Each structure stands twice: as structure tokens, then as C-alpha cells.
Amino acid sequence: MSTPIVGLIMGVIFGTSLVLTGLTNPDKIIGALRLKDFYAIRTVAVFLLVAMLGTWILDLFGAANFNIKPAVILTVLIGGAFLGTGLGLTGFSPATGLASAASGRIDALITVIGMIFGAHVYILIYPSIVVPLEKVLNFGSLTLPQITGSSAASWVVPIFAAGSFALFITRSRKPRDDEQRIKAGDLGMNEEFPDPLSPIPIPRQKGLYLKSDCLKAASVFRRWKNLLFMVMLLCLLLHQASFWLVSTGQVEITENTNPETPVVLGADSLQADQSGNSEKGNAGLTDQAAAPAEESRNLMLFGFDVTFELLTSIVRITNIILVLTSVLYALIMYFGLGISFKGGLGGLAHICGALYMALIIFVLLLPWQNFFGPIAMGATYTPNELVSWCTTDISDTLGMVLFYLRFTGYWALVMLLLLLAQLRSFRWARAIIR
Amino acid sequence: MEESNSQLRHPAPHRRTGNSENGNAGLTGRTHPLPWWAAGILLGLVQVLAIALVKPMGVSKQFVVADARVLERVAPEYSENHPLLSNEQNKKFGYGWWFNIGIVLGAFLAALHLRAWKVRTVSAWWQRNHDAPVLLRLIAGFCGGVLLLLGAGLAHGCITGQFISGWTQLSLSAIPFTITLFGFGMLVAYLVYPKAPSRFRREE
């Protein structure tokens, strides 16, 4: 896949995201090195954590292409020192220098020219200086898990957890400038925030107390809304992942269900379903005990093997959580609407749209197939349904399309709606907090 | 009531310029287009995509490749006996080269799109710390560039290739690299930029 066109596309994506993230701004880098501006530090920390986690997950599926640099400690130390000096002097790294030059910085352009000269110097000194140096303390391409003899998980998971926790607890609790100004105006402390550009009228209405109260309430709602969104997102992803694991045959279906029963059941079949399931689950367990050879074909993930029983329980739990959180999500939107209406905070159009979408999500998520059979379907599926779909032979194209539409297309629709709802409500939050 | 509402909601419309590079905001280094977590997740996903498709990202090696190509034309004899230049890997413009061109292209397009494309020569920190800004800044930039690529060559990778990709793959070489990179980076930044621009002082 290492064709030029892939390289070009990846480069375009990387360059675009460098500009979007503002790391091309040398002030951000210098501010970070001087420990005055933590934006770049936090960004790079998140960058590392996400990339580390993603690479580890890719590696679990065997899809990661590693390129581990040799650990020549001495030259790496010297090189790091040179790079650090260059970084501290200019505020550009090679990548951001390129991107920054492309966005019009003359100094970055000069830095890039300097880099070409630097490459030349490196080539000139390579035979006489670098080659002997590289023989000192050369450990070869080693990774930390290889040295300690532990699995990559024991490195990635603690680092990710600790890093995210540190980032989370050190996040800025300071309200944004605009929020501060509103608060300042409200408490009559306008003198402390003199801002000639935007004179805030000193408020005299009592309505402002109500307004600031509503603002606080709205920010509480916003926080809970974001939490619920994250939960729903996680559940949806788990749901979809378990579908893919089963449908691609990574996980053996061990339950011996008969494929006719599950979908077309009456409204009161939920409990029957559950009890039937548990029996079947037991049957599956005994099956496995009888045939341990089958167990070894299961997928190993995160250190323990993923059995079909585990997946069914995951699907059931995520079903419950999804339906409940979608109700709460819609309710929070509703209360947010009420608050911004009562307090005159604005952003009504956004929150109305978000409320509507949250309601649609709720309606789509309900397991309608349990009430109406195949007439109407919800985005959530029960394990039995999954088994029945996966075990029936689908040979024609239409059947395949229907199959993926039901499990993935429907899911994608809900996902899209969820993201849209979150986007709308984010706009609402931004509109009222500004 | 209504009027004060609207003013509260939009306290300063003329300051909400959307991105940092507009107007004189480039000299104050004030805002950034994305919040830090979104920025980090975006970059992280780019790296994951790169690892899934080809290999971890790296930028600096292509400078050596470009130089090697030039030297091959100019001094073929020298480059044949050179241990680095005679390596076939350093002679062809492959994925990495187009990756760098893509960075330039993508950054250019993104800057145009954000209306952040603007010719600038100094940064806010430089402006604050040095009276004779432009020429000195360019000279410093050049020296910094030489050091950057020299360091990248010695360390087998620049900040993207060694620091980011190194930690991403948990390679051993990332640890000493990180130590000296940030040690020297902070030291030099402290020496070169001792004074912070106004937004970090309690004036505003």
C-alpha cells in the first residue's frame, strides 16, 4: 500500500490536521516549552494516548505495520538535544515547519531551507562521525514490552488510563472569558475586568440573577448530556463490534437455538426470551465443556477469550443501557429547552433540533421487533435475533443487502442521528454560554 | 432587557473572529481552531490510519532523500562510496516523499480554507523578546532548521518520527529522545524567550 498516492493523501490529511489543531503556530510550541500555554502539551498528550491505544488495538487484530527505530542510545540522546535546541529556537518541528511554511510563514520557510542544509550536514558528517557513534550503546530495534517481557497491554492500558486521568483532572475549570464577563457583570465587579473592546453594560435588572442561575443549570445539563452521549456512543460501538465479531465468524455461535422462534414473538415474550436464553446459555456452557477443542477457536482479546456467551451478555446489557440512556438523553434535551426558554438564553433552534433528533433516536432504538415481529424493527437486536440471522443461509444479493442494512445500516443511521443531535446541542451550549 | 440580552449573548462580535490567524490575532497567539482534546484525537486517528495503511508517520528522512538525489547528480562518485547515500532506500521518492508533499498541500489548503493564509515573519514570543525582529528571526530560523535536521538524522527520526511514532509503538529509543528533546527544548526556549507575551501576564 505504500504507493505515492496513499502517501499524498495521508500527507494532506496530516497537514490539514496540523493546521486545524494550531500546532503550526510557533507561539503554541514556545508557550508549551516555557510552560505558559498548555494547549500544545495537552494536544500532543492526547495525540500520543489515542495513537498508542489505536495502534495497540490494530496490533490485536494484526493490522499494524510497525517501524521501530533502532535504539542507539547515544546518538538518540545527541539528536534529541539538537532537535530540542532547534525546537526551542524556532518553535517549529520538521512537520509543523513544513505545514507552517505552507500557511504563509516566511520564518518557517527559512527554517525548511535550513533543514535542507541540515540534511546536507548530516550526510557530510555521516561516514566520519555518525557511523562510529552508532556503534556505541546500540540495542537494536527494541520495544518496551520486549524488554520487560510483558505484553503490550500491560504498558498501553496503564499509560492510557493514567494519562487520561491526569488530563481529566487537570482540565481547565476556569470558565471561559465570556462566561467570566457575564458573571462579573452580574456581581458588579466590572472594574476587575476592564475590557475596552467590549464594554459590558452594568446590569441593573433582577432578571439577570435568574439568567445566571439558568446558565449554571444549563452547564450542568450540558455536562450530563455529554456524559450520556459518551455512554451511548460506547454502547453503540460495542453493539456493532459484537455484530461484526459474530457475523464474520470470529466468534463461534455456541448456542443451539432454533432459528425460527426468536423474531416473531408476541409482546409478552421478553421474559420468555430471557429465561429461554439462560437455559440455552447453560446448554452452550455444557456444550463447551464437552468439546474443549471448540473453545480454542475463540478470539483472544484483551487477555481473555471472547465467547459467544460474553457477547450475548454484552449485547443484552448494551441494549438496556442504550434504551435507558436514550430516554435520559431526550429528557435532558427537553429540560435544556425549558431552561433556555425560561432564562431567555437563546439557542432555541439548536436545542429544538437536538431534542427532535434525540426523540427519533429513542424511537429507533426501541426493540420494536419484540412487539410487532418482522413488521417493524428497532436498531437494537437481541442475541437470538443475531443468531437467527447469522445461521440462516443467505445466498442472494438482496438478502445480503438486507442483512447488512438491518445490522449495520440501521446502526449507522442511529449513529449519524446521535452525532447530529450532539452537534446541534453543542451549538446550543455554545450559543448560550457565549 | 432584550437589548442587554443580545449584548450578553454576543459580548463582542468583532472579537469572535473564528481563528487565530485573522487580523492581528496572529501576533497575540490567542485562540486555536480546535479544543485540545479534539485536536489530539484527530491527530491520533491520523497516526492510527497511517499505521494501519503503511507505517508510522515520519517527516525528516525525506530531506535526506532529497539531498541524496541531488548529490547523486552532482557528485556521483562521492555518493557511491557513501554508506548512507549508496543505500537504495535513500534514493527513491516513494511514500514518504509524497507524504511530505501532501503535508505542504494539505496545510496550504487548510490555511486557505480557514482564511489563515497570511505572510508573517515573526511570532508573538519573538516580538516580545527581541527588538530587531525580522532578520534575526530568519537567521535563528535557519540555524534552528539546520539543528533540527541534524538532530533528526542522528536520532533516526524527527519529532513526528521518533517522539510520536516512538511512543506510539512503545519503542525503547523514545525514552532518551524525549528526555533530551524536552530538556534542551525548555532550556533553549527559556534562554531565547525569557519574557512572556502580554496575554500570559495579568494585564488583560
pTM for this entry: 0.57
Beta-carbon separation of A17 and B42 below 8 A: yes
As for the ipTM of the complex, it is 0.81
Residue A281 has pLDDT above 80, yes or no: no
Of A57-66, A196-205, A355-364, A383-392, which one has max mean pLDDT? A355-364
Q: For A154, list phi and psi in degrees, rounded to 5.
A: -70, -10
Integer Cα distance of B173 and A308 in angstroms:
41
**Mean pLDDT across B114-143:** 81
Residue A300, pLDDT score? 58
Residue B65 grid coordinates: 532523500
Enumerate the residues of chain B whose CB falls inside 8 A of the CB of residue A346. Answer: 5, 9
Q: Which of residues 128-157 of B touch A (CB under 8 A)?
A: 137-138, 140-157
Integer Cα distance of A41 and B36 in angstroms:
9
Residue A272 has pLDDT above 50, yes or no: no
Residue of B nearest to A204 (CA): B1
Residue A260, pLDDT score? 40
Beta-carbon separation of A19 and B106 below 8 A: yes
Residue A40, pLDDT score? 85
Q: Which of residues 24-43 of B touch A (CB under 8 A)?
A: 29, 32-34, 36-37, 39-43
Residue A278 has pLDDT above 60, yes or no: no
Residue A291, pLDDT score? 39
Integer Cα distance of B16 and A252 in angstroms:
56
**Mean pLDDT across B74-87:** 77
**Mean pLDDT across A369-394:** 79
Integer Cα distance of A251 and A383 in angstroms:
13
Judge whether B173 and B185 are in contact, CB under 8 Å.
no
Integer Cα distance of A96 and A317 in angstroms:
45
Of A55-64, A261-270, B14-23, which one has max mean pLDDT? A55-64
Residue A421, pLDDT score? 92
Of A4-13, A196-205, A226-235, A251-260, which one has max mean pLDDT? A226-235
Alpha helices in B82-132 (DSSP H): 95-113, 124-129
Residue A305, pLDDT score? 65
Candidates B17, B43, B54: best to mutate against A (most CBs of A within 10 A) is: B43
The pLDDT mean for chain A works out to 77
Q: Given B53, B63, B169, which is nearest A1 (Cβ)?
A: B53
- CB neighbourhood size of A334 (10 A): 15
- Annotate B172-183 with DSSP letters as a single string: TTHHHHHHHHHH
Residue A233, pLDDT score? 92
Beta-carbon separation of B153 and A7 below 8 A: no
Residue B126, pLDDT score? 82
Residue A284, pLDDT score? 40
Residue A307 has pLDDT above 90, yes or no: no
Angle between helices A94-102 and B95-113 (to 10 degrees): 50
Residue A309 has pLDDT above 60, yes or no: yes
**Mean pLDDT across A281-287:** 40
Residue B130 has pLDDT above 50, yes or no: yes
At residue B10 the predicted structure's pLDDT band, cuts being 50, 70 and 90, is: very low
Asked which of A40-54, A249-263, B87-101 is least confident by mean pLDDT, the reply is A249-263
Of A165-169, B43-47, B154-158, which one has max mean pLDDT? B43-47
Residue A205, pLDDT score? 55
Residue B187, pLDDT score? 92
Q: pLDDT tens, A72-116?
A: 888 888 889 999 999 998 888 888 889 988 888 888 899 999 998
Enumerate the residues of chain A whose CB falls inside 8 A of the CB of residue B1. Answer: 205, 207
Residue A42 has pLDDT above 60, yes or no: yes
A/B interface, count of CB pairs below 8 Å: 564
Q: Which of A176 and A239 is assigned the larger pLDDT? A: A239
Between vectors from CA B123 to CA B121 and to CA B125, what angle results, nearest 5°? 150
Q: Which of residues 154-183 of B touch A (CB under 8 A)?
A: 154-162, 164-173, 176-183
Please tell me what DSSP assigns to residue A197. T
Q: Which of B87 and A77 is assigned the larger pLDDT? A: A77
Alpha helices in A366-409 (DSSP H): 369-372, 383-391, 397-404
Alpha helices in chain B (DSSP H): 2-9, 25-28, 36-53, 61-74, 76-81, 95-113, 124-129, 133-154, 165-168, 174-192
Instruction: Tell me the β-bridge partners of B171.
Output: A143
Residue B9 grid coordinates: 449573548
Q: pLDDT tens, A194-226?
A: 444 544 554 555 667 778 888 888 888 888 899
